[in-house]
Structure 1
Amino acid sequence: MVAETRPPDAPEGARPDVLGYPSPTTSRYLVFVAALLASGLFVGNYVHTMVWGDSWQETVAVCLNRTSGLETSTDLVTSSRAFSACTADVERTRAAVTALGAVTVAAAAVALMWLAPLVVVRRRRLRPFPPALGGAAERFAALAGAAGVTARVVPVLGATDQRDGFTFGAPGHYRVALPPAAAVRWRDPAVFDPLVAHELAHVRHRDVPLAWLTRLVWWALAPLLALPVVVGLVVQDYSILGSYVWRVGLLVVVVALLSSQLLRTREHDADLRAAQLLDGPDAVLGLVRRLRPHTGSTLGRLLAKHPDPPRRVAALEAPTLVTRTGLLDGLTGGFLSAAALPLLVAALTPALAGSGQVVVGYLLAAALLGPMLAGSVGLGVWRAILYGVLEERPVSTTGVAVGTGVGLVLGQAVSLQQAGIGTLTGVDAPGWLLVTGLAGGGAVLVSAGLAHLWADAAPRVPRARPAWLVALVVNSLLFSTVLWACSVFQSAVDLGGWALGREALMSTLSPWWAVAVVGVLAVAAAAAMGLRPGGRPAPRWLVEGEATAWPEAPSLAVRTLLVGALAGSAAATTVVAYRVAAGPAASDQATLQRFLAYQWSAALSAAAVLVALVLAARTRGAGAALLGAPVAVLCALLGFMTLNTALGGPVDGRLAAEFLRPAAVLGFYACLLTAPVAALVASAVRRRRPDASPAPRPLPLLALALCLPLALAGGATAVAGRDVLVGPADPAGLLTVADPTADERPEALRTELVAYESETVPQLLDTYARAAAQAQQITADPNLDDTTRAASMEALVVAPLADLSEQLGEVALGDERLVAAHREAQLGVETAITRFRLWGDAGPSPDQATLAELRSLQVQEAQHWQRWSDQRQALLDEVLGSS
């Protein structure tokens, strides 16, 4: 969007070619359409309830009657399997109808796309060019050939009252409607050529079908969104209308504003392309200057489909104005992504239930929406920074970062999936949504830092495609990971508070594929810093005319590595100092607690790297931290392994891997969360020194001086706050178990523990995750009556957990400590069964006494899981030779 009308000073002799780098407009269209299609999933579920709801409930009731009355756990397992088989057909129907809501919207929009041209031709009284305008048709064909779109577009003549041209049609079959006053002046290159070139630019950019699809998807969705309101009023069921209507109303406002903004953005792109086709902006400028400025209310200007002529003139004179990104860009991208995410997860969860991979639904939804958010926000940031470096002017990404963070929080709260749940935000722990907002803003700032590094290396990239492909891939990984991690973490803290949230951080949210993402981002940062050109001319794909010298970039690679190594060494020093001061651990739980605290120490050293680099190197520092942070974690790991070996432990690769996996990913998350704070502090420092040069400088020794105390403070925080970060060492307060020694590590325990970790633990976690996800789905469905809700909870949540409890009871273990840990898991499952059964009986609005009991059960369950995790990890450390 054009943020200002005053042209900046561009490099002399070169006109920036902002079309050489893809516009984020296409991605913004895609995330817009995806959010609307996802809204159709809610309507699909509602339609199923209204049409098939009675038969579905009857089938569920019949199946419950057939399989009820069984008391033993074995009988309960059998009844659960029988119930699943009995309801399989109606569940498949329910899943299909839910998906049919989105499919119907998409099919209707595509059908309307092919029917709309017929309506437009009739309503606008369009007709082919008459023979008298044969010269106009020939000139149009010549311009279409120059634009490379001859086979896809034909001209038509508008009515006598038409004042401007427009383009419409189905994909591959477009028509440009020209006003008669312009068509008859086809010999005048100051009128006919720029008008036609502008419309042909839309065809060349392939934005005509996207622009029409955006409008038509809404036309197809709007009647479906009105259906629950109409039906609720007719049958006098107002249970969800209050929370549903305001969410739909807000969606309408967002759709109207964003649709108009996207239409205005594409007009700037078309103007600039027309200027290229006509060998300069003069002809297009002449035509645009004849247009009347917009008048009317502020709302009218916000809903205008064309930008104000003065803004169009400013963009033609200074093309980089169209690359500016701001708060609205981040707000809309984050809002639409977060609003669609719960709907996709809810639709994927039942579809994946049969495969036992329910939690994969979060990952699939994030993998779908992450690239769209990357294209709409990340690509826009990279584009803005690239042309900012070309013009040697600072580019602020504060607005887009704030907008993205706020958008992610608001989108989660107003998603249609939350209608009828009973809370404003749709989550049980709304305070933790701040984590989502910080992570979203931090992701934008980290992306901007990496964009600066790649902009410095732009002269070494021979073509535009590799440059923007790197941007799209890197940002897709970044934003997909953020969406996935935030949604899973919020679900964890909703279920079990911080106790379950920290467990998720160390396990569920730290898989090896996330470590790989951290590695890819580090390689991207290292490659950009290694490609720093130094004195080369601007790349030919970035400018029109004579290329100017590319601005000299600061050298960051070596000093980034030094900062990372120093921070990691400081974290290792903290670990060693604590071990020397505290002496041997007094219990298995204390051993585990120390191990987890050491991982947090390494992660906080990564955050220290980011803060130091941002304060010292400004925006580039956040990108450089993607390399410095993993280096810090690796150095902290080296220090821990050295300490472990010095204390008599073996050099064990499995122990190193177990340390590295959570520490590396936690360090990445810590960087995202601290990036907004670091940027805020850096901004405050710059405001206090307004005379400081905005040009980037070599990384000063200040970064090395800053990272040392920050990393030491982080390590001290991890150790001192270990009871909060990782849980108490011994909840009972009895620290009486002596440190295990190598002689007390029998091979039998090693074998038994490996089998337990590879077989029992994955089965338990997967079954529990599926049951918890199913419980969320049941309680979030406003269309279930109390009887069906309780029955569904019993059959789909409680019964699988009872099956799991029986299987856990059959696990044969020899070591008494492993038996004790396993008993905690059994108690956790039994407590979960009690909690979920009470949750189902209580309904969507439990009374205060029931809420208090649910919270108490949730705390008890979290304590069992924590002790289970602590005792397992202590045994693992003992076997592997922990310090």
Structure 2
Amino acid sequence: MSSITMLDTVLAPRPDDTPGDALGCLLAAGVDPNGGNLDNLLLGVRHATALETCMSGVPTVANVKGLVATFFLLAAAAVVYAWLPRRRDRKNRTVPVGTVSRDTSLQDELAQLRELSGTAPGVRFRVDPTRTTAGAVVYGSAGRYTVCLHAGLVARRGTDPDGFRTVVLHELAHIRNRDVDFAYGSTALWRVFVVLALLPYLFQQGRLLTNGLLGRNASPFWPGAASIITYSLLSGLLLVALVHLARADLLRRRELHADRQAVAWGATLGGWDHPDPPGTVATPLRRVIALLRTHPRWAERRRVLDDPGRMARVSALEMLLTGVGASLLVHEVLVLPGLSGGTGGAFLTALLVAPVLFLVLRRSVASAARSAGRRTETGVRAGLWLGAGLVVGTFVGGGNSGTEWVIAQPVYLLALVVTAVVPAVWTAQFCRLTLVLPGRLLRIATVLLNFLVTLALLWGGLLWWQSSGRALAMGFAVHDGALTALIKEEFPGPWGLYPRDLSVISAVSPVLMMLNKEVLLAAAALLMSLVPLLLHVRVRGTGLRLRRTLMAGLAGGLVCWAGLAAAAYALRARRPVTFDQRTGAFQYVHMWWQIAALMGACLVTASVVAGVSRRHWLLRALLAAQVVQFMAYAAVFALAAADGCLGPLNKLGDRCHWLPENGRILAELTAAQSLTATVFLSACAALAGAAVGRIAHRHRPTASPSQPSAQASPEIRPWPAVLRRSTILVLGVPACLLTVLTHADDADSAQRSAVENQRFAELFDTPQTARVAKVREWQAAAWLGKGGLDRIGGMGDAFTALGDALTEAAEQEPDTNGKIRLDETKFSRLCGTLGGRAAQARKYFPVPFKELQQPWSDALRRLQSDSRTCQDAMAMGEDAKFATNAERGLRFQQSLDGMRAAMNALTDVLQKLDAMAFPSKDGS
């Protein structure tokens, strides 16, 4: 995937002296290449629709060039793959086996070993007389393989026949396992990538950086471009190291698999009794160097043969490289046609990573269950390394590249780690839970369900990072207070009484917004809690300890009730006097205090349950947290329905009424803000609680041998089937109903979200000032050329048509009262056309200059307002807005004057933009 971007950059470099097509859209939006990362990102977020519309007209020839070139690169790799073995044959002077043996015993033994391994008869055996070591090598491609025996190995056959057989069987195992194809394929692809993509890319970027530092590049993108290019160079070099690590790890693991296969065919273990050469470097450095080797050390090979289950364990390096590849794919896949926008990158990445994580953990869990004394796979280690890979890949892939290398809020990078740890732990524990399931069909269904939940969790985490987490890490939560002001406008009231509450809400709500938005995440959260419960009802002995888990949830629910009561009582001192004042800011703050009490109780319950549990701690913690959630929503319903009857706990009312509809509305709003997010935050709290519990368990003093052992706890009697099934109804039905209710109005929610985004852009649309005068010139030219001039021209044409209609009406004969009769339908349509074009212009990019944006916005708003007034003045009959004709005429005249003034303001903005975009006109 990286080759597409690199080759695209080499073959179709972006212009550095003129605003190109895609660059023109960004410049028209107000992006400053020398500006801050967050400022540029927010411009793209605020004007996503306008930017997508502009980009839709940009030709995609550049991306296509990189994509086509990548296909040629793959074709070249295939040619190199076929050519490498032939080159080796010509380079090494090998001889047939028969030339070094006086009889046919060597050929016969090799044929027997080949038949034992089940390899194809076409395998050739040759001898390299120049190599005196007791080794061998296999090479070839496309089914034409050659086993080249060293002369020392042939001589060893007479003194150590078992060692000879071991070496030959090992090489034949490489052929049987298709390791030769893996090795030569990866070698060919890597060499072609380095020669045709990486080196040209590094050369071009290095040349640009050198020219810029020496002052040979007069591009206005400097010095911002220097930071971006330097970051690209370092990322390319780091990518080289990561690819080499991945290739070396692949080849080492293939060596270990070949060892095991050779032993299965009868090779003696003595063939691996070789001491490793003494090292001359320190042990930590030796371990790092070992990761770069394509062959494992002899000690590692012997450990794998002594413990076959060792290969089934999760490899830290494998998970790290998987995370790096996943994070890179999120960024690189965006260059593919059809995936340049939206959430396709996150979904495709999760679709490729989820099977790797799922299969690796399932294999490890099954292997640990079959081996007595093996440590159970928890998934924590695999998730941590996978998350670390996601973090590293974020830097390598340019997730924060630009003029600022250091992320403003690096704590949000922990979200990437949690994105990997939660599905890893869930997968491992659920796999353990399904090992005792009877029936093949039931096992297949649970495996599929496990994979789907893992996929949804990974996709949700990557989507959250792509759409929200990256902006939060860059400092969005502490930006210019735009979200705070938007909340104040949406919920008016005495916000001076709640300054700290507002700052906390503004910081927390962006984090939870995306988690509560996606339907697929809500379904995954529902399945995470209910599916283990369903399996517990179906099969006994799962280890969930349902009775204790539910009791812990009930205790947490009681704590939550106390927290809700305490929150209501604490807010009473700041409750406004009148009812109207309580329905805005106070009601909003009160709802978030309730959400805080709910989430706090769920997180504490989940952490405690996970800390004291030894098996299935995540599953038990989520189930207990769900009990707390339902008890909390029931309390929210009761507090709202009985508002006015609760004395010091009253929120809005002072008179006692039982209003269940109010309770339902508030409970539904609270669930919409917290239902899905609480599940995932509870999972995070369970991780922390489990870590603390394990640390405390390790430091707990052990009983001395002289002390009597504790008596065995009595066996817990299982619940009757009726109680177990009732538990499903009590927990499952409310969970499904709440999930459906909170996502039933997705269309309305999307419409409201679009309106809020538009208002966000209008209220806080303050373009940044470009640092270089040439960039300001390009911004003005791009804004005019990408649609600004067309929109002003369209409004001018509509206003001219309205003026022509007035002139035509003035030439008509007046009526008996000396007045001119206007065609109401015609003028209403003309005024509506002008207002509609003003509305379309408001959807376009704002003027990328602070001094011109305000006149532009004011003129467009006035045009829309006056066009509506004009239409109202032309309305007759039942649609009439004004009582008398005199008032209609006055309002019509006022609207014409207002539209004329607005058009004059737009003309003034156009003239200033034209002067900024083409300054040479004034001097010519």
8 Å contact kept, 2:134–2:150:
yes
Between 133-142 and 120-129, report the one with greater CA deviation.
120-129
Contact (CA 8 Å) 1:611, 1:675: kept in 2 or not? yes
Q: Does 1:221 align with 2:193?
A: yes
**Which of 294, 298, 309 is 1:305 aligned to?**
294
CA contact (8 A) 2:595 2:670 kept: yes
Provide closer, same or farther for how the CA distance between residues 504 and 51 of structure 1 changes in structure 2, counting only shifts above 3 A. closer
Matched, 1:266 2:254: yes
Letter in 1 for 2:698: R
2:326 to 303, 316, 337: 337
Shift of 1:135: 2.2
The corresponding residue for 1:408 is 390
**2:109 & 2:136 partners in 1: Cα distance?**
14
The answer to whether residue 577 in structure 2 is matched with residue 588 in structure 1 is no
Q: 2:636 maps to what in 1?
A: 640
How is 1:249-288 mapped onto 2 (pairs within 5 angstroms)? 249-278=237-266, 283-288=267-272
CA 1:506/1:832 → structure 2, altered by over 3 Å: closer, same or farther? farther
Report the CA distance between 1:801 and its aligned residue: 13
1:837 to 848, 857, 869: 848
Q: Are 1:608 and 2:604 an aligned pair?
A: yes
- Deviation of 1:314 after TM superposition, in Å, equals 1.8
- Is 1:674 the counterpart of 2:685? The answer is yes
| Greater mean alpha carbon deviation, residues 757-766 or residues 379-388 | 757-766
Structure 1 partner of 2:901: none
Provide, for residues 596-624 of structure 1, a one-character-per-residue CA deviation record: whole Å limited to 9, x for no partner. Answer: 54445444444334312221114630243
Structure 2: give runs of 5+ residues left out of the alignment: 29-47, 214-225, 484-505, 643-657, 705-709, 717-743, 796-837, 855-924
Distance in 1 (CA, whole Å) between partners of 2:357 and 2:432 is 15
1:650 aligns with 2:661: yes
> Which residues in structure 2 correspond to 1:791-810 (within 5 Å)?
none
What is the match of residue 92 of structure 1? 60
User: How far, CA to CA, are the matches of 2:242 and 2:432 in structure 1?
Assistant: 31
Residue by residue over 1:444-495, the C-alpha shift from the partner in whole angstroms, topping out at 9 and shown as x without a partner, is: 444444454345x378779998897666554333333222223322234247
Contact 1:135 1:186 in 2 (8 A): no
For residues 446 and 268 of structure 1, the distance between their equivalents in structure 2, rounded to whole angstroms, comes to 29
Change in CA separation of 1:495 and 1:143 when aligned onto 2, cut-off 3 Å: same
Q: 2 CA distance for matches of 1:533 and 1:567?
A: 26
Partner residue, 1:509: 515
CA deviations on 1:205-243 (whole Å, 9 max, x unpaired) are 455444444433332332322223322454524524422
1:368 is aligned to 348
Match for 1:621 among 598, 617, 624?
617
**In the comparison of the two structures, how many residue pairs are matched?**
671
Deviation string 1:128-183 (CA, Å, 9 cap, x unpaired) is 765956524532442233xxx648x7344252327434444446665555546657
Q: 2-side partners of 1:755 and 1:622: how far apart?
A: 30
C-alpha distance in structure 2 between counterparts of 1:802 and 1:574, whole Å: 57
Matches within 5 A, 1:103-182: 103=71, 105-125=73-93, 132=104, 134-136=107-109, 138-145=111-118, 150=120, 154-160=123-129, 161=131, 163-170=134-141, 176-179=147-150
Q: How does 1:523-542 map to 2 (within 5 A)?
A: 523-526=530-533, 529=536
Partners of 2:468 and 2:514 within 8 A in 1: no
Shift of 1:327: 4.9
Counterpart in the other structure of 2:676: 665
Amino acid at match of 2:620: A
What are the Cα deviations for residues 321-358 of structure 1, in whole angstroms up to 9, with x where unaligned? 3334465444333333334423334x26x8456xxxx3
Identify if the C-alpha distance between structure 1 residues 272 and 117 changes in structure 2 by more than 3 Å, giving closer, same or farther: same
- Structure 2 residue aligned with 1:314, among 294, 303, 307? 303
Equivalences for 1:362-401 in 2 at 5 Å? 364-377=344-357, 379-389=359-369, 390-395=371-376, 399-401=381-383
Task: Show the 5 A alignment for 1:476-487.
Answer: 476-487=455-466
**TM-score w.r.t. structure 1 length?**
0.63
Are the structure 2 counterparts of residues 275 and 579 from structure 1 closer, same or farther at C-alpha, using a change threshold of 3 Å? same
The one-character-per-residue Cα deviations of 1:485-544 (angstroms, maximum 9, x if unpaired) are 23322234247316577444444332111111223333553466567676xxxxxxxxxx
* Change beyond 3 A, Cα 1:768–1:577: closer
The aligned residue for residue 906 of structure 2 is none
Partner letter of residue 154 of structure 1?
A: V
Query: In the alignment, does 2:5 pair up with 1:42?
Result: yes
CA change 1:793–1:130 in 2 (3 A) is: farther
**Would the alpha carbon gap of residues 51 and 192 (structure 1) be closer, same or farther in structure 2, given more than 3 Å must change?**
farther
Contact map agreement 1:154 1:175 (CA 8 A) in 2: yes
The answer to whether residue 397 in structure 2 is matched with residue 423 in structure 1 is no
- Normalising by structure 2, we get a TM-score of 0.60
In structure 2, what is the Cα distance between the partners aligned to 1:90 and 1:46?
17
Partner Cα separation in structure 2 for residue 598 and residue 175 of structure 1 = 72
Per the alignment, residue 538 of structure 1 pairs with none
Q: Is the 8 A contact 2:245 2:291 kept in 1?
A: yes
Structure 1: segments with no counterpart, 5+ residues: 1-36, 66-79, 535-552, 702-752, 806-825, 842-852, 854-883
The residue type equivalent to 2:63 in the other structure is A
Instruction: Give the letter aligned to residue 587 of structure 1.
Output: T
Which amino acid in structure 2 is aligned with residue 320 of structure 1?
A: G
Contact 1:445 1:675 survives alignment (8 Å) = no
Give the match's secondary structure for 2:123: strand
CA contact (8 A) 2:202 2:233 kept: yes
Please tell me the residue identity of whatever aligns with 2:272.
Answer: V
Cα distance in 1, alignment partners of residues 263 and 850 from structure 2: 64
Which position in structure 2 is the counterpart of 1:750? none
Other structure's SS at 1:508 match:
helix
Contact 1:564 1:630 in 2 (8 A): yes
Q: What do residues 819-848 of structure 1 show as CA deviations (whole Å, max 9, x unaligned)?
A: xxxxxxx99x989966x935999xxxxxxx
SS of equivalent to 1:338? helix
8 Å contact 2:248–2:292 — kept in the other structure?
yes
The range that moved more, 677-686 or 110-119, is 110-119
Larger Rg: 1 or 2? Answer: 2
Gap change, CA 1:648 and 1:56, over 3 Å in 2: same
Higher relative contact order (CA 8 A, sep 6+): 1
SS in 1 for 2:660: coil
* C-alpha separation in 1, matches of 2:332 and 2:379: 30
Q: Which amino acid aligns with 1:139?
A: Q
Contact 1:402 1:441 (8 Å CA) reproduced: yes
Question: Which residue of 739, 748, 751 maps to 1:757?
Answer: 748
What is the 5 A alignment of 1:697-712? none
How many Å apart are 1:316 and its aligned residue? 0.9
Deviations 1:11-32 (A, max 9, x none): xxxxxxxxxxxxxxxxxxxxxx
Query: 1:317: Cα distance to partner?
Result: 1.2
Q: Residue type matched to 1:57 in 2? A: G
The whole-number CA distance in structure 1 between the counterparts of 2:60 and 2:306 is: 58
Residues 632-681 of structure 1 show CA distances to partners (whole Å, capped at 9, x for unaligned) of: 43443344345445541339988766544542321233134334422331
Q: Separation in 1 of the partners of 2:13 and 2:679?
A: 46
- Tell me if structure 1 keeps the 8 A contact 2:639–2:663: no
1:92 Cα offset (Å): 1.5
Deviation at 1:690?
5.2
